[in-house]
Structure 1
Amino acid sequence: MKNNVDHIPGPIGVFDSGYGGLTVLNEFLKDYADYDFIYLGDNARTPYGTRSYDTVYHYTLENVRRLFDMGAHLVILACNTASAKALRTIQQTDLPAIDKERRVLGVVRPSTEIAGKITRNGHVGILGTTGTIQSGSYMIEIQKFFPGVLVSQQACPMWVPIVENGEIDTPGADFFVKRDLDLLFQQDPDIDTLILGCTHYPLLLPVIEKHIPSNVKIMSQGEIVSSSLKKYLERHPEMDEKCSKNGVCSFFTTGDNDVFDRASRAFLDQPVKSHKIEL
Protein backbone atom coordinates (compact mmCIF):
# COMPACT_ATOMS: atom_id res chain seq x y z
CA MET A 1 0.00 0.00 0.00
CA LYS A 2 2.86 2.38 0.64
CA ASN A 3 3.63 4.66 -2.30
CA ASN A 4 4.91 8.10 -3.12
CA VAL A 5 1.64 9.82 -2.13
CA ASP A 6 1.68 8.60 1.49
CA HIS A 7 2.87 11.99 2.67
CA ILE A 8 0.02 13.84 0.95
CA PRO A 9 -2.84 14.78 3.31
CA GLY A 10 -6.14 13.07 2.56
CA PRO A 11 -9.76 12.97 3.73
CA ILE A 12 -10.91 11.13 6.82
CA GLY A 13 -12.67 7.98 5.67
CA VAL A 14 -16.03 7.08 7.20
CA PHE A 15 -17.36 3.58 6.50
CA ASP A 16 -20.72 1.98 7.16
CA SER A 17 -22.51 -1.04 5.76
CA GLY A 18 -25.30 1.30 4.67
CA TYR A 19 -26.77 4.59 5.84
CA GLY A 20 -26.44 4.55 9.62
CA GLY A 21 -22.92 5.95 9.63
CA LEU A 22 -24.33 9.14 8.17
CA THR A 23 -25.60 10.01 11.67
CA VAL A 24 -21.97 9.94 12.84
CA LEU A 25 -20.77 11.83 9.77
CA ASN A 26 -23.44 14.45 10.47
CA GLU A 27 -21.73 15.27 13.77
CA PHE A 28 -18.28 15.25 12.14
CA LEU A 29 -19.42 17.80 9.57
CA LYS A 30 -20.65 20.08 12.37
CA ASP A 31 -17.54 19.74 14.52
CA TYR A 32 -14.88 19.59 11.80
CA ALA A 33 -16.19 21.91 9.10
CA ASP A 34 -12.70 22.55 7.73
CA TYR A 35 -11.80 18.88 7.35
CA ASP A 36 -12.32 16.70 4.29
CA PHE A 37 -14.35 13.50 4.59
CA ILE A 38 -15.14 10.62 2.30
CA TYR A 39 -18.10 8.39 3.12
CA LEU A 40 -18.42 4.87 1.76
CA GLY A 41 -21.57 2.83 2.25
CA ASP A 42 -21.55 -0.85 1.27
CA ASN A 43 -25.24 -0.72 0.42
CA ALA A 44 -25.01 -3.54 -2.12
CA ARG A 45 -24.18 -6.00 0.68
CA THR A 46 -26.07 -4.53 3.62
CA PRO A 47 -27.13 -5.57 6.23
CA TYR A 48 -24.02 -6.72 8.07
CA GLY A 49 -25.83 -7.35 11.35
CA THR A 50 -26.87 -10.93 10.53
CA ARG A 51 -23.67 -11.99 8.72
CA SER A 52 -20.88 -14.19 10.09
CA TYR A 53 -17.70 -12.86 11.66
CA ASP A 54 -15.61 -13.91 8.66
CA THR A 55 -17.95 -12.28 6.17
CA VAL A 56 -18.14 -9.00 8.09
CA TYR A 57 -14.36 -8.98 8.49
CA HIS A 58 -13.67 -9.55 4.78
CA TYR A 59 -16.28 -7.02 3.65
CA THR A 60 -15.02 -4.41 6.11
CA LEU A 61 -11.39 -4.93 5.10
CA GLU A 62 -12.30 -4.48 1.43
CA ASN A 63 -13.96 -1.17 2.21
CA VAL A 64 -11.09 0.01 4.41
CA ARG A 65 -8.60 -0.79 1.65
CA ARG A 66 -10.70 1.15 -0.83
CA LEU A 67 -10.79 4.21 1.45
CA PHE A 68 -7.00 3.97 1.83
CA ASP A 69 -6.73 3.85 -1.97
CA MET A 70 -8.84 7.02 -2.07
CA GLY A 71 -6.26 8.81 0.04
CA ALA A 72 -7.52 8.36 3.59
CA HIS A 73 -4.87 7.91 6.28
CA LEU A 74 -7.52 7.57 9.00
CA VAL A 75 -10.72 5.52 8.66
CA ILE A 76 -13.62 5.49 11.12
CA LEU A 77 -15.78 2.37 11.14
CA ALA A 78 -19.10 4.15 11.76
CA CYS A 79 -20.77 0.75 11.90
CA ASN A 80 -21.21 -1.09 15.17
CA THR A 81 -21.24 -4.54 13.58
CA ALA A 82 -18.00 -3.87 11.70
CA SER A 83 -16.46 -2.35 14.82
CA ALA A 84 -17.49 -5.36 16.89
CA LYS A 85 -16.55 -8.12 14.45
CA ALA A 86 -13.70 -6.76 12.32
CA LEU A 87 -11.89 -3.82 13.93
CA ARG A 88 -9.53 -5.72 16.24
CA THR A 89 -8.30 -8.08 13.49
CA ILE A 90 -7.80 -5.22 11.06
CA GLN A 91 -5.87 -3.20 13.65
CA GLN A 92 -3.69 -6.04 14.88
CA THR A 93 -3.17 -8.16 11.75
CA ASP A 94 -3.87 -6.19 8.59
CA LEU A 95 -2.64 -2.66 9.28
CA PRO A 96 0.95 -3.69 10.04
CA ALA A 97 1.07 -5.38 6.62
CA ILE A 98 -0.81 -2.66 4.72
CA ASP A 99 0.78 0.45 6.20
CA LYS A 100 1.91 0.93 9.79
CA GLU A 101 1.21 4.67 9.54
CA ARG A 102 -2.51 4.31 8.75
CA ARG A 103 -5.19 4.00 11.40
CA VAL A 104 -8.67 2.48 11.70
CA LEU A 105 -10.94 3.40 14.62
CA GLY A 106 -14.40 2.18 15.64
CA VAL A 107 -17.51 3.36 17.45
CA VAL A 108 -17.82 0.79 20.25
CA ARG A 109 -14.95 1.90 22.47
CA PRO A 110 -15.82 5.63 22.64
CA SER A 111 -19.28 4.75 24.00
CA THR A 112 -18.04 2.21 26.51
CA GLU A 113 -15.30 4.52 27.82
CA ILE A 114 -17.89 6.92 29.23
CA ALA A 115 -20.90 4.69 29.95
CA GLY A 116 -19.80 4.03 33.51
CA LYS A 117 -19.47 7.74 34.17
CA ILE A 118 -22.96 8.52 32.90
CA THR A 119 -24.91 5.86 34.76
CA ARG A 120 -25.98 6.92 38.25
CA ASN A 121 -26.78 3.48 39.64
CA GLY A 122 -24.45 1.20 37.67
CA HIS A 123 -27.12 -0.39 35.44
CA VAL A 124 -26.54 -0.03 31.68
CA GLY A 125 -28.57 -1.39 28.76
CA ILE A 126 -27.31 -2.04 25.22
CA LEU A 127 -29.48 -2.09 22.10
CA GLY A 128 -27.92 -3.32 18.87
CA THR A 129 -28.08 -5.54 15.82
CA THR A 130 -27.95 -9.29 16.26
CA GLY A 131 -24.29 -9.35 15.21
CA THR A 132 -23.25 -6.61 17.61
CA ILE A 133 -25.06 -8.17 20.54
CA GLN A 134 -23.75 -11.68 19.81
CA SER A 135 -20.19 -10.35 19.68
CA GLY A 136 -20.44 -9.24 23.31
CA SER A 137 -18.17 -6.29 22.47
CA TYR A 138 -20.06 -3.75 24.55
CA MET A 139 -20.23 -5.99 27.60
CA ILE A 140 -16.52 -6.83 27.35
CA GLU A 141 -15.42 -3.22 26.92
CA ILE A 142 -17.65 -1.81 29.66
CA GLN A 143 -16.49 -4.47 32.09
CA LYS A 144 -12.91 -3.59 31.19
CA PHE A 145 -13.38 0.09 32.07
CA PHE A 146 -16.06 -0.25 34.75
CA PRO A 147 -16.04 -3.76 36.27
CA GLY A 148 -18.75 -2.87 38.78
CA VAL A 149 -21.36 -1.90 36.18
CA LEU A 150 -24.17 -4.37 35.43
CA VAL A 151 -24.74 -4.62 31.66
CA SER A 152 -27.82 -6.04 29.94
CA GLN A 153 -28.29 -6.21 26.17
CA GLN A 154 -31.02 -6.79 23.63
CA ALA A 155 -30.84 -7.51 19.90
CA CYS A 156 -33.26 -5.46 17.80
CA PRO A 157 -33.27 -7.13 14.36
CA MET A 158 -36.22 -5.17 13.00
CA TRP A 159 -35.03 -1.66 13.83
CA VAL A 160 -32.63 -1.16 10.92
CA PRO A 161 -35.15 -2.34 8.28
CA ILE A 162 -37.77 -0.05 9.85
CA VAL A 163 -35.44 2.96 9.53
CA GLU A 164 -34.17 2.17 6.05
CA ASN A 165 -37.68 1.57 4.71
CA GLY A 166 -38.99 4.87 6.07
CA GLU A 167 -41.39 3.17 8.51
CA ILE A 168 -40.42 5.17 11.61
CA ASP A 169 -43.84 6.76 12.12
CA THR A 170 -45.86 3.57 11.75
CA PRO A 171 -47.65 1.24 14.19
CA GLY A 172 -45.15 -1.46 13.19
CA ALA A 173 -42.24 0.63 14.38
CA ASP A 174 -44.01 1.33 17.65
CA PHE A 175 -44.72 -2.38 18.13
CA PHE A 176 -41.17 -3.64 17.53
CA VAL A 177 -39.47 -0.85 19.49
CA LYS A 178 -41.74 -1.38 22.48
CA ARG A 179 -41.32 -5.16 22.29
CA ASP A 180 -37.52 -5.02 22.34
CA LEU A 181 -37.37 -2.35 25.04
CA ASP A 182 -39.73 -4.39 27.20
CA LEU A 183 -37.47 -7.43 26.75
CA LEU A 184 -34.43 -5.39 27.79
CA PHE A 185 -36.05 -3.90 30.89
CA GLN A 186 -37.40 -7.31 31.88
CA GLN A 187 -33.75 -8.37 32.21
CA ASP A 188 -32.99 -5.39 34.45
CA PRO A 189 -35.74 -2.95 35.49
CA ASP A 190 -33.10 -0.70 37.11
CA ILE A 191 -31.37 0.31 33.86
CA ASP A 192 -30.81 4.08 33.95
CA THR A 193 -28.46 4.42 30.96
CA LEU A 194 -29.22 3.16 27.47
CA ILE A 195 -26.60 2.86 24.71
CA LEU A 196 -27.94 2.92 21.17
CA GLY A 197 -25.41 0.47 19.75
CA CYS A 198 -26.36 1.05 16.14
CA THR A 199 -25.99 4.26 14.20
CA HIS A 200 -29.47 3.87 12.70
CA TYR A 201 -31.18 4.00 16.06
CA PRO A 202 -31.05 7.78 16.71
CA LEU A 203 -33.73 8.16 14.04
CA LEU A 204 -36.02 6.12 16.30
CA LEU A 205 -35.47 8.36 19.33
CA PRO A 206 -39.05 9.73 19.43
CA VAL A 207 -40.40 6.17 19.49
CA ILE A 208 -37.81 4.93 22.00
CA GLU A 209 -38.51 7.79 24.40
CA LYS A 210 -42.20 6.85 24.48
CA HIS A 211 -41.45 3.44 25.92
CA ILE A 212 -38.73 3.97 28.53
CA PRO A 213 -38.82 5.54 32.02
CA SER A 214 -38.26 9.30 32.01
CA ASN A 215 -35.16 8.96 34.20
CA VAL A 216 -33.25 6.86 31.63
CA LYS A 217 -30.35 8.60 29.92
CA ILE A 218 -29.96 7.72 26.22
CA MET A 219 -26.44 7.67 24.77
CA SER A 220 -26.43 8.39 21.02
CA GLN A 221 -23.16 7.67 19.28
CA GLY A 222 -22.79 10.58 16.87
CA GLU A 223 -21.81 13.17 19.46
CA ILE A 224 -19.79 10.66 21.49
CA VAL A 225 -17.71 9.48 18.52
CA SER A 226 -17.18 13.03 17.27
CA SER A 227 -15.88 14.11 20.67
CA SER A 228 -13.63 11.04 20.78
CA LEU A 229 -12.20 11.87 17.35
CA LYS A 230 -11.32 15.37 18.53
CA LYS A 231 -9.41 13.95 21.51
CA TYR A 232 -7.68 11.42 19.27
CA LEU A 233 -6.45 14.07 16.84
CA GLU A 234 -5.25 16.22 19.75
CA ARG A 235 -3.26 13.26 21.10
CA HIS A 236 -1.91 12.45 17.64
CA PRO A 237 -0.98 15.70 15.88
CA GLU A 238 0.99 13.68 13.33
CA MET A 239 -2.30 12.15 12.14
CA ASP A 240 -4.06 15.51 12.20
CA GLU A 241 -1.39 16.77 9.79
CA LYS A 242 -2.31 13.94 7.42
CA CYS A 243 -5.96 15.08 7.31
CA SER A 244 -6.67 17.44 4.43
CA LYS A 245 -8.68 20.52 5.31
CA ASN A 246 -10.68 22.00 2.44
CA GLY A 247 -14.19 21.51 3.85
CA VAL A 248 -15.07 18.92 1.18
CA CYS A 249 -17.19 15.80 1.74
CA SER A 250 -17.59 13.09 -0.92
CA PHE A 251 -20.02 10.18 -0.91
CA PHE A 252 -19.67 6.72 -2.43
CA THR A 253 -21.88 3.65 -2.38
CA THR A 254 -21.62 0.11 -3.68
CA GLY A 255 -25.36 0.21 -4.33
CA ASP A 256 -27.61 2.38 -6.48
CA ASN A 257 -26.40 5.96 -6.07
CA ASP A 258 -29.82 7.49 -6.81
CA VAL A 259 -31.40 5.37 -4.07
CA PHE A 260 -28.57 6.29 -1.73
CA ASP A 261 -29.04 10.00 -2.38
CA ARG A 262 -32.77 9.84 -1.64
CA ALA A 263 -32.46 7.68 1.47
CA SER A 264 -29.63 9.76 2.93
CA ARG A 265 -31.99 12.70 3.47
CA ALA A 266 -33.33 11.00 6.58
CA PHE A 267 -29.85 10.72 8.10
CA LEU A 268 -27.96 13.82 7.04
CA ASP A 269 -28.58 17.56 7.31
CA GLN A 270 -27.48 18.24 3.73
CA PRO A 271 -28.28 16.96 0.23
CA VAL A 272 -26.05 14.22 -1.11
CA LYS A 273 -24.74 13.48 -4.60
CA SER A 274 -23.03 10.12 -4.40
CA HIS A 275 -21.03 8.01 -6.81
CA LYS A 276 -21.33 4.27 -7.30
CA ILE A 277 -18.18 2.18 -7.02
CA GLU A 278 -17.31 -1.49 -7.37
CA LEU A 279 -15.17 -3.18 -4.75
Structure 2
Amino acid sequence: MNSRQGPIGVFDSGYGGLTVLKEIVKTLPQYDYIYLGDNGRAPYGIRSFETVYHYTLECVQHLFRMGCHLVVLACNTASAKALRTIQQNDLPNIDPERRVLGIIRPTTEVVGQYSRSRQVGVFGTTGTVNSQSYPIEIEKFFPDVQVYQQACPMWVPLVENDEYDSEGADYFINKYVRQLMVQSKDIDTIVLGCTHYPLLAGKLQAHLPPGVTLLSQGGLAAASLADYLQRHPEMAAKCSTGGGRTFYTTDDTATFDRQAGIFFGEPVSSIHLAL
Protein backbone atom coordinates (compact mmCIF):
# COMPACT_ATOMS: atom_id res chain seq x y z
CA MET A 1 0.00 0.00 0.00
CA ASN A 2 1.52 3.31 -1.02
CA SER A 3 0.92 6.63 0.73
CA ARG A 4 -1.82 7.62 -1.67
CA GLN A 5 -3.89 4.52 -1.00
CA GLY A 6 -5.92 3.47 2.01
CA PRO A 7 -8.60 1.01 3.11
CA ILE A 8 -12.30 1.52 2.60
CA GLY A 9 -13.89 2.61 5.86
CA VAL A 10 -17.19 1.11 7.02
CA PHE A 11 -18.91 2.77 9.97
CA ASP A 12 -21.86 1.79 12.14
CA SER A 13 -23.14 2.75 15.56
CA GLY A 14 -22.71 -0.87 16.63
CA TYR A 15 -22.80 -4.34 15.12
CA GLY A 16 -25.40 -4.12 12.37
CA GLY A 17 -23.05 -2.65 9.79
CA LEU A 18 -21.17 -5.93 9.85
CA THR A 19 -24.03 -7.49 7.88
CA VAL A 20 -23.28 -4.88 5.22
CA LEU A 21 -19.52 -5.33 5.38
CA LYS A 22 -20.03 -9.09 5.02
CA GLU A 23 -21.79 -8.56 1.68
CA ILE A 24 -19.31 -5.91 0.54
CA VAL A 25 -16.40 -8.27 1.18
CA LYS A 26 -18.17 -11.00 -0.80
CA THR A 27 -18.63 -8.65 -3.74
CA LEU A 28 -15.31 -6.77 -3.52
CA PRO A 29 -12.88 -9.10 -1.68
CA GLN A 30 -9.77 -7.49 -3.15
CA TYR A 31 -9.95 -4.28 -1.12
CA ASP A 32 -8.72 -3.53 2.40
CA TYR A 33 -11.40 -2.56 4.93
CA ILE A 34 -11.55 -0.87 8.32
CA TYR A 35 -14.74 -1.35 10.31
CA LEU A 36 -15.51 1.05 13.15
CA GLY A 37 -18.38 0.29 15.52
CA ASP A 38 -19.27 3.04 18.00
CA ASN A 39 -20.68 0.53 20.47
CA GLY A 40 -19.71 2.66 23.44
CA ARG A 41 -22.32 5.25 22.45
CA ALA A 42 -24.93 3.01 20.83
CA PRO A 43 -27.82 2.98 20.15
CA TYR A 44 -28.03 5.93 17.79
CA GLY A 45 -31.68 5.31 16.89
CA ILE A 46 -33.06 7.11 19.95
CA ARG A 47 -30.67 10.09 19.83
CA SER A 48 -31.26 13.56 18.42
CA PHE A 49 -30.21 14.65 14.93
CA GLU A 50 -27.50 16.88 16.39
CA THR A 51 -26.03 14.14 18.58
CA VAL A 52 -26.01 11.57 15.79
CA TYR A 53 -24.37 14.09 13.46
CA HIS A 54 -21.58 14.91 15.92
CA TYR A 55 -20.92 11.25 16.79
CA THR A 56 -20.91 10.23 13.12
CA LEU A 57 -18.62 13.06 12.04
CA GLU A 58 -16.17 12.23 14.81
CA CYS A 59 -15.98 8.60 13.70
CA VAL A 60 -15.68 9.53 10.02
CA GLN A 61 -12.76 11.81 10.86
CA HIS A 62 -11.09 8.95 12.74
CA LEU A 63 -11.41 6.76 9.64
CA PHE A 64 -9.95 9.54 7.50
CA ARG A 65 -6.97 9.76 9.86
CA MET A 66 -6.55 5.99 9.49
CA GLY A 67 -6.03 6.55 5.77
CA CYS A 68 -9.52 6.00 4.35
CA HIS A 69 -10.38 8.06 1.29
CA LEU A 70 -13.85 6.50 1.08
CA VAL A 71 -16.18 5.82 4.01
CA VAL A 72 -19.51 3.97 3.89
CA LEU A 73 -22.03 4.78 6.61
CA ALA A 74 -23.46 1.27 7.08
CA CYS A 75 -25.95 2.68 9.56
CA ASN A 76 -29.44 3.83 8.65
CA THR A 77 -29.69 6.31 11.49
CA ALA A 78 -26.35 7.92 10.66
CA SER A 79 -27.25 7.99 6.97
CA ALA A 80 -30.60 9.59 7.77
CA LYS A 81 -29.43 12.14 10.32
CA ALA A 82 -25.82 12.96 9.41
CA LEU A 83 -24.85 12.02 5.85
CA ARG A 84 -26.13 15.06 3.97
CA THR A 85 -24.60 17.56 6.40
CA ILE A 86 -21.25 15.79 6.29
CA GLN A 87 -21.31 15.64 2.48
CA GLN A 88 -22.39 19.22 1.93
CA ASN A 89 -20.87 21.14 4.86
CA ASP A 90 -17.93 19.19 6.25
CA LEU A 91 -16.19 17.39 3.39
CA PRO A 92 -15.41 20.58 1.41
CA ASN A 93 -13.48 21.84 4.45
CA ILE A 94 -11.95 18.55 5.59
CA ASP A 95 -10.87 17.27 2.18
CA PRO A 96 -12.95 17.72 -0.98
CA GLU A 97 -11.26 14.64 -2.48
CA ARG A 98 -12.67 12.26 0.13
CA ARG A 99 -16.11 10.71 -0.07
CA VAL A 100 -18.75 9.50 2.39
CA LEU A 101 -21.58 7.29 1.10
CA GLY A 102 -24.74 6.15 2.87
CA ILE A 103 -26.86 3.03 3.15
CA ILE A 104 -30.31 4.43 2.32
CA ARG A 105 -29.94 5.49 -1.31
CA PRO A 106 -28.75 2.09 -2.64
CA THR A 107 -32.05 0.66 -1.39
CA THR A 108 -34.41 3.46 -2.33
CA GLU A 109 -33.18 3.68 -5.92
CA VAL A 110 -34.17 0.06 -6.63
CA VAL A 111 -37.08 -0.70 -4.29
CA GLY A 112 -39.68 0.19 -6.93
CA GLN A 113 -38.36 -2.59 -9.13
CA TYR A 114 -39.57 -5.17 -6.60
CA SER A 115 -43.09 -3.86 -5.90
CA ARG A 116 -45.99 -4.76 -8.17
CA SER A 117 -48.65 -3.15 -5.97
CA ARG A 118 -46.64 0.09 -5.56
CA GLN A 119 -47.20 -0.26 -1.80
CA VAL A 120 -43.91 -0.50 0.10
CA GLY A 121 -43.29 -0.90 3.81
CA VAL A 122 -40.27 0.10 5.87
CA PHE A 123 -39.20 -1.32 9.22
CA GLY A 124 -36.71 0.95 10.99
CA THR A 125 -35.51 2.46 14.22
CA THR A 126 -37.47 5.33 15.71
CA GLY A 127 -34.81 7.77 14.52
CA THR A 128 -34.84 6.51 10.94
CA VAL A 129 -38.64 6.51 10.75
CA ASN A 130 -38.92 10.01 12.24
CA SER A 131 -36.37 11.34 9.77
CA GLN A 132 -38.74 10.47 6.88
CA SER A 133 -35.63 9.62 4.83
CA TYR A 134 -37.13 6.57 3.16
CA PRO A 135 -40.37 8.21 1.93
CA ILE A 136 -38.43 11.26 0.73
CA GLU A 137 -35.78 9.24 -1.12
CA ILE A 138 -38.18 6.69 -2.59
CA GLU A 139 -40.37 9.47 -3.97
CA LYS A 140 -37.37 10.84 -5.90
CA PHE A 141 -36.98 7.59 -7.82
CA PHE A 142 -40.51 6.16 -7.75
CA PRO A 143 -43.10 8.92 -7.24
CA ASP A 144 -45.93 6.43 -7.80
CA VAL A 145 -44.91 4.28 -4.82
CA GLN A 146 -46.74 4.73 -1.52
CA VAL A 147 -44.51 4.19 1.55
CA TYR A 148 -45.69 2.99 4.95
CA GLN A 149 -43.31 2.99 7.92
CA GLN A 150 -43.16 1.18 11.25
CA ALA A 151 -40.71 1.92 14.05
CA CYS A 152 -39.46 -1.22 15.81
CA PRO A 153 -37.69 -0.06 18.98
CA MET A 154 -37.43 -3.54 20.51
CA TRP A 155 -35.74 -5.29 17.59
CA VAL A 156 -32.19 -3.98 18.03
CA PRO A 157 -32.11 -4.92 21.75
CA LEU A 158 -33.40 -8.39 20.87
CA VAL A 159 -30.64 -8.90 18.33
CA GLU A 160 -27.85 -7.48 20.46
CA ASN A 161 -28.88 -9.61 23.44
CA ASP A 162 -28.89 -12.83 21.39
CA GLU A 163 -32.67 -13.13 21.70
CA TYR A 164 -33.42 -12.74 18.01
CA ASP A 165 -34.19 -16.45 17.57
CA SER A 166 -36.08 -16.89 20.84
CA GLU A 167 -39.79 -17.40 21.40
CA GLY A 168 -39.90 -13.99 23.08
CA ALA A 169 -38.79 -12.37 19.85
CA ASP A 170 -41.92 -13.65 18.13
CA TYR A 171 -44.12 -11.38 20.22
CA PHE A 172 -42.37 -8.19 19.16
CA ILE A 173 -41.96 -9.33 15.57
CA ASN A 174 -45.66 -10.11 15.29
CA LYS A 175 -46.56 -6.83 17.02
CA TYR A 176 -44.68 -4.61 14.57
CA VAL A 177 -45.65 -6.69 11.53
CA ARG A 178 -49.34 -6.25 12.43
CA GLN A 179 -48.85 -2.51 13.02
CA LEU A 180 -47.28 -2.12 9.57
CA MET A 181 -49.65 -4.35 7.62
CA VAL A 182 -52.77 -2.74 9.10
CA GLN A 183 -51.70 0.45 7.34
CA SER A 184 -52.19 -1.23 3.96
CA LYS A 185 -53.12 -4.80 3.10
CA ASP A 186 -51.51 -4.31 -0.34
CA ILE A 187 -47.91 -3.93 0.88
CA ASP A 188 -45.92 -6.44 -1.15
CA THR A 189 -42.34 -5.29 -0.50
CA ILE A 190 -40.74 -4.40 2.83
CA VAL A 191 -37.37 -2.75 3.38
CA LEU A 192 -35.42 -3.86 6.43
CA GLY A 193 -34.32 -0.32 7.24
CA CYS A 194 -31.85 -1.28 9.94
CA THR A 195 -28.77 -3.41 9.43
CA HIS A 196 -29.60 -5.51 12.51
CA TYR A 197 -32.85 -6.74 11.03
CA PRO A 198 -31.48 -9.37 8.59
CA LEU A 199 -30.93 -11.59 11.62
CA LEU A 200 -34.70 -11.51 12.15
CA ALA A 201 -35.55 -12.25 8.51
CA GLY A 202 -36.47 -15.90 9.07
CA LYS A 203 -38.97 -15.11 11.80
CA LEU A 204 -40.25 -12.07 9.91
CA GLN A 205 -41.07 -14.12 6.85
CA ALA A 206 -43.07 -16.52 9.00
CA HIS A 207 -45.24 -13.67 10.34
CA LEU A 208 -45.73 -11.88 7.02
CA PRO A 209 -48.44 -12.70 4.46
CA PRO A 210 -47.32 -15.04 1.65
CA GLY A 211 -45.65 -13.33 -1.28
CA VAL A 212 -44.25 -10.32 0.57
CA THR A 213 -40.65 -9.59 -0.44
CA LEU A 214 -38.13 -8.61 2.23
CA LEU A 215 -35.24 -6.41 1.09
CA SER A 216 -32.03 -6.56 3.13
CA GLN A 217 -29.56 -3.76 2.52
CA GLY A 218 -26.24 -5.61 2.53
CA GLY A 219 -26.35 -7.03 -0.98
CA LEU A 220 -27.86 -3.85 -2.43
CA ALA A 221 -25.20 -1.69 -0.77
CA ALA A 222 -22.43 -3.97 -2.00
CA ALA A 223 -23.69 -3.82 -5.58
CA SER A 224 -24.02 -0.04 -5.34
CA LEU A 225 -20.47 0.33 -4.02
CA ALA A 226 -19.10 -1.86 -6.81
CA ASP A 227 -20.94 0.30 -9.34
CA TYR A 228 -19.67 3.49 -7.70
CA LEU A 229 -16.04 2.36 -7.85
CA GLN A 230 -16.45 1.32 -11.47
CA ARG A 231 -17.87 4.75 -12.34
CA HIS A 232 -15.18 6.55 -10.31
CA PRO A 233 -11.86 4.89 -11.18
CA GLU A 234 -9.99 7.79 -9.58
CA MET A 235 -11.46 6.77 -6.20
CA ALA A 236 -10.93 3.06 -6.84
CA ALA A 237 -7.26 3.82 -7.45
CA LYS A 238 -7.04 5.33 -3.95
CA CYS A 239 -8.39 2.17 -2.29
CA SER A 240 -5.72 -0.35 -1.33
CA THR A 241 -6.10 -3.94 -2.51
CA GLY A 242 -4.50 -6.20 0.06
CA GLY A 243 -7.66 -8.03 1.09
CA GLY A 244 -7.16 -7.04 4.74
CA ARG A 245 -9.81 -6.41 7.37
CA THR A 246 -9.35 -4.47 10.61
CA PHE A 247 -12.06 -3.98 13.23
CA TYR A 248 -12.32 -1.21 15.81
CA THR A 249 -14.85 -0.71 18.59
CA THR A 250 -15.32 2.11 21.08
CA ASP A 251 -16.45 -0.42 23.71
CA ASP A 252 -15.08 -3.61 25.24
CA THR A 253 -13.28 -5.69 22.63
CA ALA A 254 -14.12 -9.10 24.11
CA THR A 255 -17.84 -8.31 24.05
CA PHE A 256 -17.57 -6.87 20.55
CA ASP A 257 -15.71 -9.88 19.20
CA ARG A 258 -18.25 -12.31 20.64
CA GLN A 259 -21.22 -10.45 19.16
CA ALA A 260 -19.54 -9.36 15.92
CA GLY A 261 -18.97 -12.92 14.82
CA ILE A 262 -22.74 -13.47 14.73
CA PHE A 263 -23.26 -10.51 12.38
CA PHE A 264 -20.16 -10.99 10.23
CA GLY A 265 -20.44 -14.74 9.94
CA GLU A 266 -16.84 -15.49 10.92
CA PRO A 267 -14.54 -14.81 13.90
CA VAL A 268 -13.62 -11.18 14.53
CA SER A 269 -10.70 -9.77 16.55
CA SER A 270 -11.07 -6.08 17.30
CA ILE A 271 -8.99 -3.16 18.56
CA HIS A 272 -10.29 -0.65 21.10
CA LEU A 273 -10.60 2.95 19.92
CA ALA A 274 -10.82 5.64 22.59
CA LEU A 275 -12.81 8.67 21.47
TM-score (norm 2): 0.98
**What residue in structure 1 maps to residue 222 of structure 2?**
226
Q: Give 3-state SS (helix, strand or coil) of 1:191's partner.
A: coil
Amino acid aligned to 1:187: Q
Cα distance between partner residues in 2 of 1:76 and 1:46:
18
**1:171 aligns with one of 167, 172, 178:** 167
> 1:125·1:193 contact (CA, 8 Å) conserved in 2?
yes
**1:108 aligns with one of 79, 104, 111:** 104
Give yes or no for the alignment of 1:194 onto 2:180. Answer: no
**What residue in structure 2 maps to residue 273 of structure 1?**
269
**What residue in structure 2 maps to residue 257 of structure 1?**
253
Q: How is 1:108-127 mapped onto 2 (pairs within 5 angstroms)?
A: 108-127=104-123
Q: Give 3-state SS (helix, strand or coil) of 2:181's partner.
A: helix
Q: Following TM superposition, by how much is the alpha carbon of 1:106 offset from its aligned partner in structure 2, in angstroms?
A: 0.4
**What residue in structure 1 maps to residue 147 of structure 2?**
151
CA RMSD for the aligned pairs?
1.1
Cα distance between partner residues in 2 of 1:53 and 1:173:
29
Q: Following TM superposition, by how much is the alpha carbon of 1:269 offset from its aligned partner in structure 2, in angstroms?
A: 2.1
> 1:7·1:242 contact (CA, 8 Å) conserved in 2?
no
> 1:11·1:71 contact (CA, 8 Å) conserved in 2?
yes
Q: Following TM superposition, by how much is the alpha carbon of 1:265 offset from its aligned partner in structure 2, in angstroms?
A: 1.6
Summarize deviations over 1:56-87 as a string: whole Å, max 9, x none. 00000000000000000000000000000000
Q: Give 3-state SS (helix, strand or coil) of 1:252's partner.
A: strand
Summarize deviations over 1:100-152 as a string: whole Å, max 9, x none. 00000000001000011111110000000000000000000001111110110
Q: How is 1:1-279 mapped onto 2 (pairs within 5 angstroms)?
A: 8-279=4-275
Q: Following TM superposition, by how much is the alpha carbon of 1:33 offset from its aligned partner in structure 2, in angstroms?
A: 1.2
Summarize deviations over 1:184-219 as a string: whole Å, max 9, x none. 000011000000000000000111011101211110
- Gapped regions of structure 1 (runs ≥ 5): none
Cα distance between partner residues in 2 of 1:51 and 1:178:
26
Cα distance between partner residues in 1 of 2:117 and 2:80:
26
Q: Following TM superposition, by how much is the alpha carbon of 1:55 offset from its aligned partner in structure 2, in angstroms?
A: 0.2
Q: Following TM superposition, by how much is the alpha carbon of 1:7 offset from its aligned partner in structure 2, in angstroms?
A: 5.6
Q: Following TM superposition, by how much is the alpha carbon of 1:168 offset from its aligned partner in structure 2, in angstroms?
A: 1.3
Q: Give 3-state SS (helix, strand or coil) of 1:124's partner.
A: strand
Cα distance between partner residues in 1 of 2:259 and 2:215:
24
Amino acid aligned to 1:55: T
- Between the aligned residues of both structures, percent identity stands at 60
Amino acid aligned to 1:134: N
Cα distance between partner residues in 1 of 2:249 and 2:145:
39
Q: Give 3-state SS (helix, strand or coil) of 2:113's partner.
A: helix
Count of aligned residue pairs for this structure pair: 275
Q: Give 3-state SS (helix, strand or coil) of 2:52's partner.
A: helix
